[in-house]
Each structure stands twice: as structure tokens, then as C-alpha cells.
Chains A and B, each alone.
Chain A
Amino acid sequence: MSDPRRRRVASLSRTESDAIAHHRRGRNLAMLLVLVALCGLFYLITLVKLTHHVP
């Protein structure tokens, strides 16, 4: 608990904690969408490379 940022977070009110958790969920969801989209893109790239014999 020597980190000032951690101390500040530890002293948050319930409302502030909820707000932080809400933002964190939003970021995690955005990250999930990006990762799923990337998986789809890499799959398509592989498909194109294999079927069209692109080097």
C-alpha cells in the first residue's frame, strides 16, 4: 500500500468504486470485441492466402 495511486483507490467511496468497475467492464468488453474481430480477420487472411495461393 505504499503506492500513492493504490492508497487513493483504497480510500474511494462506494459510488466511486462502482463507477470504476463500470468503466472497467466497458473497457473489458471493448477488448473482447477487438480480440474476436482480430481472430476473425486472421482466419480470413489465412483462408485468402491458402485458397488464392497468395505468398
Chain B
Amino acid sequence: MNTTATAVAGQGGGGNAPQSLAGPSVAVSTAADWIALLKPRVMMLVVFTGLVGLLVAPGRLHPVLAFTAILCIAVGAGAAGAINMWYDRDIDAIMHRTARRPIPAGRIAPGEALGYGVTLAAASVIVMGLAVNPAAAAGLAFSICFYVFVYTMWLKRRTPQNIVIGGAAGAFPPAIGWLAVTGGLDVMPLLMFAIVFAWTPPHFWSLSLWAHGDYQRAGVPMLPVVAGARETRRQIFLYTVLLVLLSLSPCAFGLAGPLYGVVAALLGVCFLQRAWRVLRDRQDAGGISLTGDAPARASFRFSILYLFMLFGALAMDRFLV
């Protein structure tokens, strides 16, 4: 439990990657490694969108139960992340961006990570079911299974549409937050789902534009690897247009007020501007950026701010208007 030889790294679920990284003879996990296994940065976004789903839902949930619901969403998302790291440990060891994660670095044994992920996933669903309601628990279980089985195990290594379809997993939290309050679904949680769903491709493809070397080495068919950087830039722009239209739809349906409408429109213009710069980035004949993918990096950073501000505006709109 406490020590793990580095040789355990690199025997991942995909099973076609070379073995291990160089490292110390004995690597020891710390509490921070077990937290890192839960992908805390991804968890923050999931928690925030889930919280907004919970806040904009009609009705009230006792603060203790609301806290429990958000905690379950966070732990469930983290558990899915841990199982993802267990399955992808072979390709994580190859990619520079992920090589220092606890499993490929040899600080946590793969089996321990899997047990940790499965236990937390089951616990989060059970507590959600017992403390909040069965519908929210079912939604959480579905989102964990979708991320693990559909995205991680099925799509990620097979199709360049991996993050388009798999992105649905990250879009569930607002709907789960809504389910926690109401026990059912409506138009608004479906729109929130659609917004995060459409947000995922421009967000991830911007990252993959400059990290495509990593994905290529690992054999992950991300869009820039399969279709090239030029086509990826075009797809980023198209999905950004779709995202901006979807972000305005709550106003069109009369489900959000002018505050949200103004913020969504302004953010949409800013995001479109960045996506346009990505599309028009100076590039060679093969579509390789001559600017070090500076516009894609800017677009990636802005996409995170965009989602936080958009959902923040939705929550504020609910309370101020």
C-alpha cells in the first residue's frame, strides 16, 4: 500500500504502450497524490456547473442536503477521473502533460487507484440516493458510467469524435444539480447540458492543437492528429458558433433574464473573436501554426473563464431578477 515500484507504471488498459518511466527505486504516495488522482481542476468546473444547476432549479433544498449533493457530484466526478487514470496509465506515461501523474510516476499502484475510484464512485452514488433522492443518484451513476465506459474505454482511443460524444459526461453535473432539487428534468437543465456539451470541443481541441504531438505519440486519435490542424481550427470555430447560439437559448425560451442575456452575448462575442483568431492563425502549408499556437492557447484559457462566467451569470440572474 505504501510503496510502489516504478515498474508498475505503463501497463495500461489500452495495452499497446511501452513500459515505465525512469524514476526512483521506491516511490511513495502522499495525500496530495490521492487528491491528484481525483483530477481536482476538472472537479472544480464540475462542482461549479452542478452548483448552478442546483441554484437555478425551482424549489428549495436544505443547505446540508445541497452541500451533500454537491459533495457527491464532486466525489463522483473525481472517482471517474481516478478510474480514467487507472485505464489510461499506459498513454499517460507517454505523454509529457500526464507523465507525472501518480500512477505513471509509480507513486500509486494501478490496482489501488482502481479500488479507490470504484469505492468512491459507489459511495457517492449511495450517499446521493440516501441523502438527496434516487433520481439524482441515478443521474450521477449514469454520468460516471458514461465517462468510464463510453468515453474512456470505448471512444477515446477509437475516434476523433471522442471528446464530442464523451463530452456529454462533463455536461451532466448541471442536470444532476437540478435533479437533486426537483427529482425530475425540464427544458432548462437540458439547455445547460447542451451548453457544456457544445463548449467541450472548442475547449479540448484548442488544447490538443498544441499538445497534438503528445496525443500522436500515445496513439490517441484526437482531431488534429487524424484530420490535421487546419480542419481542427475550422471545427473549433463552428462549435464556438453553435455554443454561442446555445448560450443565448435560455433567453429565447424565456428561462433567463436580461442580465444573463447581456453577459452571454458579451462573452459569446469574446469567444467568437478568439475562435476566429484560432481559425486565421498564421500557418504553413500543412496547417502547422507559425505562432506557437498562441491563439489556441488564448482560446483555451478563455474557454474556462467563459464557462465560469456564463454559469455564474445564470445563477446571479436567478437571484437578482
CB within 8 Å of B: which residues of A?
A: 4-5, 8-9, 12, 16, 19-20, 23-24, 26-27, 29-30, 41, 44-45, 47-49, 52, 54
Could you write out 12 A-B pairs with CB less than 8 Å apart? Answer: A8-B25, A16-B26, A20-B2, A20-B3, A23-B2, A23-B28, A27-B30, A27-B34, A41-B64, A48-B62, A48-B65, A49-B131
A8:B3 contact, CB within 8 angstroms: yes
CB within 8 Å of A: which residues of B?
A: 2-5, 25-26, 28-31, 34, 62, 64-65, 67-68, 71, 131
A45:B2 contact, CB within 8 angstroms: no
A44:B29 contact, CB within 8 angstroms: no
Q: Which residue of A lies closest to B8 (CB)?
A: A5
C-alpha gap A48/B26 in the complex (Å): 47
Q: Which residue of A lies closest to B62 (CB)?
A: A48
> Which of B29, B67, B131 has most chain A Cβ within 10 Å?
B131
Given contacts A8-B5, A24-B2, A41-B64, 6 further A-B contacts (CB under 8 A): A4-B5, A9-B26, A20-B28, A45-B65, A48-B64, A48-B65
- Given A20-B2, A45-B68, A45-B131, check contact A54 B26 (CB 8 Å): no
Query: What B residues does A41 contact at CB under 8 A?
Result: 64, 67-68, 71
C-alpha gap A12/B68 in the complex (Å): 43
- Given A5-B4, A5-B5, A45-B131, check contact A12 B65 (CB 8 Å): no
Query: What B residues does A9 contact at CB under 8 A?
Result: 2-3, 26
- Given A4-B5, A45-B131, check contact A27 B62 (CB 8 Å): no
- Given A5-B3, A30-B31, check contact A12 B64 (CB 8 Å): no
- Given A4-B5, A16-B26, check contact A54 B68 (CB 8 Å): no
Query: What A residues does B65 contact at CB under 8 A?
Result: 45, 48, 54
What is the distance, in angstroms, from A20's C-beta to the closest C-beta of chain B?
Answer: 5
C-alpha gap A4/B25 in the complex (Å): 11
C-alpha gap A23/B4 in the complex (Å): 13
Query: What A residues does B71 contact at CB under 8 A?
Result: 41
B64:A44 contact, CB within 8 angstroms: yes
What is the distance, in angstroms, from B113's C-beta to the closest C-beta of chain A?
Answer: 14
Q: Which residue of A lies closest to B7 (CB)?
A: A4
C-alpha gap A24/B34 in the complex (Å): 12
- Given A23-B2, A27-B34, check contact A8 B26 (CB 8 Å): yes
Residue of A4, A23, A29, A45 near B64 (CB, 8 A) is A45
C-alpha gap A26/B3 in the complex (Å): 14
B25:A23 contact, CB within 8 angstroms: no
C-alpha gap A5/B112 in the complex (Å): 14
Query: What B residues does A29 contact at CB under 8 A?
Result: 31
Query: What B residues does A20 contact at CB under 8 A?
Result: 2-3, 26, 28
B28:A54 contact, CB within 8 angstroms: no
Q: Which residue of A lies closest to B35 (CB)?
A: A30
What is the distance, in angstroms, from A3's C-beta to the closest C-beta of chain B?
Answer: 10
C-alpha gap A16/B25 in the complex (Å): 11
C-alpha gap A18/B242 in the complex (Å): 56
What is the distance, in angstroms, from B28's C-beta to the closest C-beta of chain A?
Answer: 5
What is the distance, in angstroms, from A36's C-beta to the closest C-beta of chain B?
Answer: 15
C-alpha gap A26/B26 in the complex (Å): 18
